[in-house]
């Protein structure tokens, strides 16, 4: 049984890619980023309960972000209320694990450290946090560490979470032809030791590789 993590680069544009991945791997949970779902639009995925946070269109009308957690319908789940301005959705699963599954998208502009720390403080353990953090660190496979990456290292450490990434690239930049690792999966140690992390080899029409945990 697996959970899919993926920055899908637009739910409506890339529904076919998602359908293929779900059909091939049959994950019981999905953590999706950059769904680009606007207010009033609805995500539907057959067989899954969908918990979505819409994106507020930026000036000029371009939609960035949008996140969703989707849980197979035969698993009892409930959305957790979050006091945050971050692009994040948290869902508590009533599986034998009773895990809090979180999908998050941090834009590549500056985000405030306190906002992420505040979000983490609201999540009941054990937690599996999956998302596009747009932050670089050699710890998770980047060739350099930037200021946001350094801050994120400390936040993960201070929250006593474990990084699941193997160091493989998760993002392909079509302009430069370069690869980077900006999609992270972190978890509470009690469940992290039971999880395996891997990327799929195909992009499925996104610029991020799907991740299975």
Can you list the residues of the chain whose pLDDT is less than 70? 56-63
Residue 124 DSSP code: P
CA 95, 97, 98, 101: dihedral to nearest 10 degrees? -90
**DSSP code per residue over 130-198:** EEE-----GGGT-SS--HHHHHHHHHHHHTT-EE---S---EEETTTTEEE--EEEEE-HHHHTT---E
Contact (Cβ atoms closer than 8 angstroms) between residue 170 and residue 201: no
Contact (Cβ atoms closer than 8 angstroms) between residue 208 and residue 132: yes
Rounded CA gap, 32 and 70, in Å?
Answer: 8
Token pair 């057959």 is found at 46
- Strand-pairing partners, residue 89, are 103
Per-residue pLDDT, 63: 61
- The pTM score is 0.95
Per-residue pLDDT, 110: 76
Count of beta carbons in the 10 Å neighbourhood of residue 200: 15
Q: In terms of CATH architecture, what is 3-212?
A: 4-Layer Sandwich (3.60)
Per-residue pLDDT, 170: 98
């Amino acid at each position: 049984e697996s959970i899919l993590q993926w920055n899908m680069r637009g739910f409506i544009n890339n529904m076919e890619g998602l359908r293929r991945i779900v059909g091939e791997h049959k994950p019981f949970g999905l953590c999706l980023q950059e769904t680009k779902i606007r207010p009033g639009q609805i995500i539907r995925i057959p067989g899954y309960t969908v918990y979505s946070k819409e994106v507020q269109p930026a000036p000029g009308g371009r939609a960035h972000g949008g996140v969703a957690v989707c849980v197979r319908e035969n698993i009892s789940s409930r959305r957790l209320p979050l006091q945050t301005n971050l692009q994040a959705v948290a869902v508590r699963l009533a599986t034998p694990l009773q895990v809090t599954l979180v999908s998050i998208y941090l834009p590549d502009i500056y985000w405030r450290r306190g906002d992420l720390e505040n979000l983490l403080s609201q999540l009941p353990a054990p937690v599996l946090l999956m998302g596009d953090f747009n932050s670089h660190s050699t710890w998770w496979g980047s060739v350099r560490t930037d200021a946001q990456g350094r801050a994120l290292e400390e936040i993960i450490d201070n929250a006593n979470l474990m990084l699941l990434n193997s160091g493989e690239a998760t993002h392909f930049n079509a302009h430069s032809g370069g690869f980077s690792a900006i999609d992270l999966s972190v978890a509470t140690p009690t469940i992290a030791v039971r999880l395996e992390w891997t990327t799929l080899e195909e992009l499925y029409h996104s610029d991020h590789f799907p991740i299975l945990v």
